[in-house]
Amino acid sequence: MQKNNLIKTEAYVNGKWVNAGTGKTFDVNNPATGELIASIPDMNREDVRQAIDAANDAWPAYRSLTAYQRATLLKKWYALILEHKEDLATLMTLECGKVLQESLGEVEYGASFVEWFAEEARRTYGDVIPAPSNDKRIVVIKQSIGVVAALTPWNFPLAMITRKVGPALAAGSPVIVKPPSETPLTGLALAYLAEKAGFPPGVYNTVTTTDSSEVGKELCENRKVRKLSFTGSTQVGKILMSQCSSTLKKLSLELGGNAPFIVFDDADVDAAVIGAIISPFRNSGQTCVCVNRFFAQDKVYEEFVAKLSSAVAALKVGNGLDQGVQVGPLISTKGLNKVKQHVEDAVAKGAVLTEGGKEMGGLFYQPTVLADATADMVIAQEEVFGPVAPVFRFSTEEEVIKMANDTEYGLASYFYTKDVSRCWRVAEALECGMVGINEGLISNAVAPFGGVKESGVGREGSKYGMDYFMEIKYLCFGGIK
């Protein structure tokens, strides 16, 4: 790294760099090498309560800033993120293992949310509604919701923060960021750059902990927190939703997925293989919109499996900082074991390994293709979160839509076809929040991100993203003469 001042070993609360009240710390290690990167504060509920109080105290002055003033602060933060792009990417690769090229892309992707919401800050328009009588005027305005808690995942340690914090700060709400214990350093680096951008004390806070359960409970149950945004597993999302019920807190939940990827007979198979490589093997398959199930129609099944296997065999696995590496390590031993179990279960039930399927030492696992996958395999229903591509066979459009929708999740879906009518039919029939049509990479700041069914509540990004961080207020003027 060019500037080691981005590695912060303290939490950031009320404009100050602080340790845990107990003095406890925890270690952050590189998943590719196991080496220690840093030790940082292990905070508890009392520490987080102080951060909540600081944010709530900062709220009145911050929400009173004009939209232009808030946008100016966000644009300064955006410029600083891009100025430190290489160092942020290196730090990200060190703590989460994703390859450096992907980390560089994430910095730009994450910064794009800051830029987008800096612009949206000045477009939070209200309405004037025709009144039912001439002596009244009806006006609708949008206001800052209040203190926002952002609970973010380890697989996108920068972009998942900016996607939540960007609209909150644009709307006039102070934030408390709780990054995961696996990847807190990128979050702390963002706090450092936010401080440099000039956000007032208490407006931007970052707390670090290994006790996610207790700290999360405080953020859910504390009445001063008005909004909670979480990205993570459906299981944890349900717990947070339940805990937030005592205060009827406004929620955004971006949860698990089980994305289907459909290749129809009339598809460009070569293009489908390129899309297939982008989606399930990015970040070693550890993204919520990664493809978990591939479906290929009868006439192209063998061709797709063969070409996909050949492309997967060419992927280079290794330390994300090394030149030419395309697939890095899994984040933990728990994650590695889950991948192994899914593959072993599939093979035991008749799947054919056409590529990969072996551990490579440490937390590395070979990118894998499984042919002849069937619905009774665990991998058909559970998110594998690893570099594995099971391929199912189907005969008709109606059949594959039923198979694709046969899950409690509904985050993203993908399909390849040259038939325009089929594009509309299938896109409308798939039960999910996002659809990639002849495209394997669909996330960007201008489009709404979110799912249906048990994949979550709400949308992030796009013009719709601001609404989830604001309250709508109706004003009735009477006695107009």
CATH number of domain containing 155: 3.40.605.10
Asked whether residue 245 falls in the same domain as residue 300, the answer is no
Asked whether residue 248 falls in the same domain as residue 271, the answer is no
Q: Is residue 5 scored above 90 in pLDDT?
A: no
Q: Per-residue confidence at 278, pLDDT binned at 50, 70, 90?
A: confident
Please report whether residue 250 resides in a domain: yes
What is the dihedral sign for C-alpha 270, 260, 364, 103? positive
Phi/psi for 369 (5° steps) reads -120, 130
Domain span including residue 158: 4-255+455-475
Please report whether residue 121 resides in a domain: yes
Active-site hit among 102, 120, 254, 460? 254
Q: Is residue 107 scored above 80 in pLDDT?
A: yes
Q: Is residue 3 scored above 80 in pLDDT?
A: no
Percent of the chain whose pLDDT exceeds 90: 96
Asked whether residue 397 falls in the same domain as residue 461, the answer is no
Please report whether residue 233 resides in a domain: yes
Please report whether residue 481 resides in a domain: no
343-399 pLDDT, tens digit each: 999 999 999 999 999 999 999 999 999 999 999 999 999 999 999 999 999 999 999
Please report whether residue 426 resides in a domain: yes
How much is the pLDDT for 82?
Answer: 98
Tell me what the pLDDT averaged over the chain comes to: 96
How much is the pLDDT for 54?
Answer: 98
- Using a 10 angstrom Cβ sphere, with 0-12 exposed, 13-18 middle and 19 or more buried, the burial of residue 130 is exposed
395-405 pLDDT, tens digit each: 999 999 999 99
96 catalytic, yes or no?
no
Nearest 5°: the CA angle 230, 451, 464 is: 80
Please report whether residue 77 resides in a domain: yes
426, containing H or E segment = helix 420-429
Any idea what the CATH number is for the domain that residue 426 is in?
3.40.309.10
How much is the pLDDT for 239?
Answer: 97
Q: How far is CA 469 from CA 142, 250, 284, 388, in A?
A: 10, 9, 32, 36
Asked whether residue 133 falls in the same domain as residue 63, the answer is yes
288 catalytic, yes or no?
yes
Active-site hit among 288, 290, 355, 383? 288
Asked whether residue 219 falls in the same domain as residue 135, the answer is yes
Q: Per-residue confidence at 280, pLDDT binned at 50, 70, 90?
A: confident
156-213 pLDDT, tens digit each: 999 999 999 999 999 999 999 999 999 999 999 999 999 999 999 999 999 999 999 9
Asked whether residue 74 falls in the same domain as residue 144, the answer is yes
User: Span 27-48, mean pLDDT?
Assistant: 97
Asked whether residue 297 falls in the same domain as residue 385, the answer is yes
- Using a 10 angstrom Cβ sphere, with 0-12 exposed, 13-18 middle and 19 or more buried, the burial of residue 341 is middle
Please report whether residue 115 resides in a domain: yes
Q: Per-residue confidence at 1, pLDDT binned at 50, 70, 90?
A: confident
Asked whether residue 209 falls in the same domain as residue 269, the answer is no
pTM of the model: 0.96
CA gap 84, 260 in Å, rounded: 36
CA gap 57, 267 in Å, rounded: 57
Q: Is residue 282 scored above 90 in pLDDT?
A: no
Please report whether residue 480 resides in a domain: no
Asked whether residue 103 falls in the same domain as residue 244, the answer is yes
Asked whether residue 345 falls in the same domain as residue 460, the answer is no
Asked whether residue 228 falls in the same domain as residue 98, the answer is yes
Q: Per-residue confidence at 279, pLDDT binned at 50, 70, 90?
A: confident
How much is the pLDDT for 225?
Answer: 98
Asked whether residue 144 falls in the same domain as residue 219, the answer is yes
How many domains are contained in the chain?
2
Q: Are 19 and 167 in contact (CB under 8 A)?
A: no
